[in-house]
Chain A
Amino acid sequence: MTVWTPVALARDIEPGTATGTTVDGDSVALWRGTDGTVHAWADRCPHRGMRLSFGFVRENRLVCLYHGWQFDGAGACRHVPAHPRMEPPKTVKPQQYRAIESAGLVWVAPTDAGGTPDVPGTAITPVRSVWIDGDRDTALSLLGLEGTGALVTGALDGTDVIAGIQTIDAHTTAVHVVAAGIVPADTVNALVHRLHEFRDSVSSVREAVAS
């Protein structure tokens, strides 16, 4: 298991939003403050265990949906609405992960992880994340990509791509795809459709949609 896990396209974690993901089988809340900093915490409020990924972001604090407890970027509880004059204890903290952005992806690692993920230094264009019904090998062979680490490279329809591979569980693999270099919108769009086709070719039936 690699230390750093790619969990999303950086573009898809918008400032002022929270969402959830999975790292090494554990639920993780991802959120980005309005200052642009991305954070990853265990997806569990230290108060009552509510999923923090259901919460909402106010300025640079994540607010739990359940009782409105506010946590700042360092994870410190800063406000408890039911006791507005109380100073929250310093020990009340969600479990932290390291979170950084590199190669257009958000990466998460345990706090004791050192260094940064090994990525190519090229400019990138974000394409699309797809969740594929299958393990890592299934996903890679489906996309015609090769590699052993969290990041694999290859060509998709003639475009050089970089893909962050995230194992969600034994049956699901998330693939976060960016194109190497600055590529035109039409190319990105064609890649998006291609990724949908790959995903659907191994998935249960999809409904047709109005386009």
Chain B
Amino acid sequence: MNIPVLHDFPLDPRCYSVRLALALLGVDHRVQPVDVFPGGAHLESPYRELTPTGELPVFETGTTTLVGSVDVLVHLADGTAWAAPSDDWIDFATGPLEQFYSCREQSLYTTDPVDVTAARAAVQSLDDLLASRTTNEAWVAADRPTVADIALFPAAALSRDIGIDHDRYPALRSWIRRIKQLPDFVEMPGIPVFP
């Protein structure tokens, strides 16, 4: 039987959200590292065929090929306790979150000036959302951790990369800490396991 393959760039937060989901959900898989930077391997064969736009992560389930973190996360959570009761998080993940990530990439890989206004608004929105939860522990989409938390976590945890500190986001700090304490949590460069 084929074990699923994740085509992964370790420094990419979208790929990390999938690695985190695979770890938390306990899904058996193999990781195939892709030299995105500086190699640009995602734009060459065989990735030309797997992901024509160069988007990562790519997840080969054995029967189908999924491209992009949202599709992979939805697939992984489907039918499990990690599924989110609504799809609202997908709008956030494909809108404000993508703005945040492109901002971070500009900051890390170019010398261009970075406008973090939109990214700051996204982080504030997340803090507000968590502060509005009336459950004992605040989670993004339900009264328990779901795929929505996994999808949004990397941006929040990496916000210092673009100069957005956590000092003014108390609900976010508490949530980040609780995610790091989930059983089988994994790190990425820039997101240490310790609180």
Contacts and interface: CB of A to CB of B under 8 A. Distances in A.
B interface secondary structure, majority:
helix
A29 to B, nearest CB: 10
B168 A189 contact: no
B165 interface: yes
A211 B167 contact: no
Interface string A187-208: 0110011001000000011111
Contact of A204 (B86, B117, B128, B173): B117
B174 A211 contact: no
Contacts of A9: 170
Interface in A131-148: 131
A14 interface: yes
Interface in B77-103: 86, 88-89, 91-92, 95-96
A211 B134 CA distance: 13
Interface string B25-52: 0000000000000000000000000000
Interface in B98-136: 117-118, 121-122, 124-126, 128-129, 131-132, 134
Nearest to B86: A210
A17 B177 contact: yes
Contacts of B194: 56
Nearest to A185: B134
Given A21-B167, A56-B194, A206-B121, A192 B132 contact: yes
A207 B124 CA distance: 9
A95 to B, nearest CB: 18
Contacts of A19: 166-167, 170, 173
A88 B125 CA distance: 44
Interface string B168-195: 1010011001000000000000000011
Contact of B118 (A17, A185, A207): A207
B170 to A, nearest CB: 4
A189 B132 contact: yes
A157 interface: no
Given A16-B195, A17-B173, A56-B194, A209 B131 contact: no
Given A17-B177, A20-B165, A129-B170, 7 more contacts: A9-B170, A12-B170, A128-B131, A204-B121, A207-B95, A209-B96, A210-B89
Interface of A: 8-9, 12, 14, 16-17, 19-21, 53, 56-57, 128-129, 131, 174, 185-186, 188-189, 192-193, 196, 204-211
25 contacts: A9-B170, A14-B177, A16-B195, A17-B173, A17-B195, A19-B173, A20-B167, A21-B167, A56-B194, A56-B195, A129-B168, A188-B134, A196-B132, A205-B121, A206-B121, A206-B125, A207-B95, A207-B118, A207-B125, A208-B125, A209-B92, A209-B128, A210-B88, A210-B92, A211-B132
Which 10 pairs across A and B sit closest by C-beta, in order of nearness? A210-B88, A209-B125, A12-B170, A207-B121, A20-B167, A210-B92, A56-B194, A131-B168, A185-B134, A207-B96
